[in-house]
Amino acid sequence: MFDITGKVALVTGGSRGMGRAMAFGFARAGADVIVASRKLDACENVASEIAAETGRRALGVACHVGHWEEIDALVDVAYRSFGTIDVLVNNAGMSPIYSDVQDVSEELYDKVLAVNLKGPFRLSAVVGSRMRDSGGGSIINVSSYSAEHPDKDAIPYSAAKAGINAMTVAFAHALGPTVRVNCIQPGAFLTDVSKAWDPGWLEREVRTYALGRAGEPDEVVGTALYLASSASSFTTGAVIRVDGGNP
- Sorted by sequence, the CB contacts under 8 Å of residue 210 that are 6+ apart come out as 244, 245, 247
Q: Is the dihedral of CA 187, 118, 95, 60 positive or negative?
A: positive
Angle at 16 between CA 167 and CA 57, to 5 degrees: 90
Helix axis angle for 17-28 and 221-228, nearest 10°, is 50
* Beta-carbon count within 10 A of 36 CB: 31
- Dmax over CA atoms of the chain, in Å, equals 50
34: phi then psi, degrees, rounded to nearest 5 = -110, 120
> Does the annotation mark 157 as catalytic?
yes
β-partners of residue 138 are 87, 180
What's the CA gap between 103 and 86, in Å, rounded? Answer: 41
* Beta-carbon count within 10 A of 110 CB: 13
Contact yes or no for 18/220 (Cβ under 8 A): yes
Q: From the candidates 145, 157, 209, 226, which is the catalytic residue?
A: 157
Which residues carry out catalysis?
Answer: 157
